[in-house]
Amino acid sequence: MQQESNKKIFLTALILALFFSFVVSLAAVLLKPIQQKNEELERNKNVLLAAGKNINNLDEEFKKIKIFYFDLKSKRVEIADDVSKYFKNFKKISENPQTSIKVEEGLEGFKSIPAKIPFYAFYENGNLDCIVLPIYGNGLWSTMYGFIAIEKDGNTIKGLTFYDQKETPGLGGEVDNPKWKSLWKSKKIFDKNGNLKIEVIKGNPDKNSENWQYQIDGLSGATMTTNGVNSFVRFWLSDKGFGYLLKYLNEHKELPIEKN
Ligand SMILES: Cc1cc2nc3c(=O)[nH]c(=O)nc-3n(C[C@H](O)[C@H](O)[C@H](O)COP(=O)(O)O)c2cc1C
């Protein structure tokens, strides 16, 4: 009798466990597209934020955007159709030898990066207004993903945002504080000889120094995170990242688009 009831309890528990694991898996599968859509919205919102555009007009503003790939090998620009696939498969793309390139140094914690990286170009009345480049790299606790917007001169920063980072709120997490991000606006990336000069420093940049235009005051109490940001922003703006694109823009006032 006792054995019979134990069997029943076991069977009921098993059925319940199976049922709920099925429900949870089904929910995960069904919610995946919604989750991906929300991630895309959050990314797109941050593209606009970096460029200082109105985020309440997401669809309208996105009509003024063209999306391209920058080919890190050929240094050319190609029109991109659907970049959601790039972000969805980002890890695979950045690790597969067929779709990535090796990085020897400069991007702490990464051995390879995608060979073709999407970026966004804003146009006003048909003229290029600014470009928005994706950037990523390691902070203290997490890989931080964001965007940096650069004026059409290829040298002046318009804005910086982070749409995914897990640094400590109130410490490293302050990288997403509008007040800190505003320090980047109008800073210059290169000097007149094309040397990469932008840097995050510890302490207030000296207004009387020639270097003031290239320097951003790091977050106090979060030196490790800001060191990470300094290092990966410099990587992406260097010739290992988008440097060539920026210098081309500075010189030619247009993108190096592959003409067929
Ligand atoms: C619980 C905890 C969380 C921390 N989180 C961060 C962080 O997210 N980013 C960071 O740079 N430092 C963080 N720190 C502080 C670092 O350990 C280190 O003290 C700090 O980066 C030094 O910055 P400072 O030289 O500006 O004081 C954290 C410390 C503790 C105890």
Q: Is residue 26 part of a domain?
A: no
| Predicted local distance difference test score (pLDDT) of residue 217 | 97
User: For residue 3, with 0-12 CB atoms within 10 Å meaning exposed, 13-18 middle and 19 or more buried, which class applies?
Assistant: exposed
Mean pLDDT of 209-221: 95
Contacts of 111 (CB under 8 A, 6+ apart): 102, 103
| Predicted local distance difference test score (pLDDT) of residue 257 | 84
Q: Is residue 70 part of a domain?
A: yes
| Predicted local distance difference test score (pLDDT) of residue 1 | 61
Q: What backbone torsions phi and psi does residue 131 show, to the nearest 5 degrees?
A: -120, 155
CB neighbours of residue 235 within 10 Å:
23
- Is any atom of ligand 1 closer than 6 Å to the C-beta of 200? no
Mean pLDDT of 108-121: 97
| Predicted local distance difference test score (pLDDT) of residue 109 | 95
Q: Is residue 13 part of a domain?
A: no
pLDDT score of 48 more than 70: yes
Q: Is residue 31 part of a domain?
A: no
Number of domains in the chain: 1
pLDDT score of 260 more than 60: no
Query: What is the widest separation between alpha-carbon atoms in the chain?
Result: 91
> Could you read off the pLDDT of 236-251 as tens digits, one per residue?
999 999 999 999 999 9
Q: 103 C-alpha to center of ligand 1: Å?
A: 28
The DSSP secondary structure of 15-67, one letter per residue, reads: HHHHHHHHHHHHHHHHHHHHHHHHHHHHHHHHHHHHTT--GGGHHHHHHTEEE
Q: 224 C-alpha to center of ligand 1: Å?
A: 6
Q: 141 C-alpha to center of ligand 1: Å?
A: 10
Nearest CA to ligand 1 atom 2: 168
Domain that holds residue 63: 39-252
Nearest CA to ligand 1 atom 19: 221
Whose structure tokens read 């270097």? 211
Q: Probe ligand 1: pick from 175, 177, 202, 223, max atoms within 8 Å of CB?
A: 223
> Could you read off the pLDDT of 52-96 as tens digits, one per residue?
998 898 888 888 899 999 999 999 999 997 888 999 999 999 999
- Nearest atom, ligand 1, residue 218 CA: 26
- Nearest atom, ligand 1, residue 226 CA: 11
Q: Is residue 76 part of a domain?
A: yes
H/E stretch holding 244 reads helix 243-252
Edge-to-edge strands, sheet with 127-138: 77-79, 65-71, 116-124, 127-138, 143-151, 157-164
Nearest CA to ligand 1 atom 4: 168
On whether the CB atoms of residues 34 and 85 are closer than 8 A, the answer is no
| Predicted local distance difference test score (pLDDT) of residue 18 | 93
> Could you read off the pLDDT of 122-145 as tens digits, one per residue?
998 889 999 999 999 999 999 999
- Is any atom of ligand 1 closer than 6 Å to the C-beta of 201? no
Q: Is residue 19 part of a domain?
A: no
Q: Is residue 7 part of a domain?
A: no
Q: Is residue 50 part of a domain?
A: yes
Mean pLDDT, the chain, rounded, equals 93
- Is any atom of ligand 1 closer than 6 Å to the C-beta of 112? no
- Is any atom of ligand 1 closer than 6 Å to the C-beta of 225? yes
| Predicted local distance difference test score (pLDDT) of residue 181 | 96
Q: Identify the top-confidence range among 29-43, 45-59, 69-83, 109-123.
A: 109-123
Entry field: residues in the chain:
260
Whose structure tokens read 């190609």? 78
- Give 193's pLDDT tier (boundaries 50, 70, 90): very high
- Give 219's pLDDT tier (boundaries 50, 70, 90): very high
